[in-house]
Amino acid sequence: MTGIDLHLPISEDAIRSLHVGDQVRLYGIVITARDAAHKYIMDSFIKPAAIPESELNLYTELQRLWRGGAVYHCGPVVSRDATGRWRFVSAGPTTSIREEPYEAHVIEHFGVRAVIGKGGMGAKTLAACQQHGAAYLHAVGGAATLIGRSIPEVIAVYKKEEFGVPEAFWVVRAEGLPAVVTMDAHGQSLHEQMWESSKAKLQELLG
């Protein structure tokens, strides 16, 4: 896949130079987070006036890694070798719209620059991307094994026992994770454009 190499952490200028349709490859630290993780973030870190002391270590780590970093909506399939080291067998994207109630807050609070998933997101996330300098990157559904090969290292995992493997925070190193910019920092959404185009075509056919 040809395209633009993005090295994490990503600067705001680099994100604002992207436009819908750009093909990218991600290099660096990515953290997975799905439904349980996003709800936990809101309830434990964003809504409370103070961070619970028991959760302070994870909060500090997320603050460090997500500043200019990437969140991946992904429920991986993992294995563990004889030494106890984890690896991703497959890493397909999860449908992102489920995180729409949370993602704008996560982008603002943690300084996230890239949201990776499939299917696109809504108006709140698009507005946050434009305001804070972030982009939504569409990973190819059905290419879970291929994407898994672009994640050669699992660095850490958090909340696995509490949330389960698919919902845990997996901190991984990406080497050329392929994606397409479908929501940019200029207020453009390829998903919205396709929706409007499809509606217009339907009206034409119904004529």
Active site residues: 38
Place of tokens 């070798």: 81
Instruction: Report the 10 Å Cβ neighbour count for 161.
Output: 9
- The answer to whether residues 14 and 6 touch, using CB atoms and an 8 Å cutoff, is yes
> Which is nearest to 136 in space by CA: 92, 73, 194?
73
Alpha helices in 42-138 (DSSP H): 56-66, 100-110, 123-132
Give the strand pairing for 70-72 and 23-32: parallel
Rounded Cα distance, 139 and 151, in Å: 13
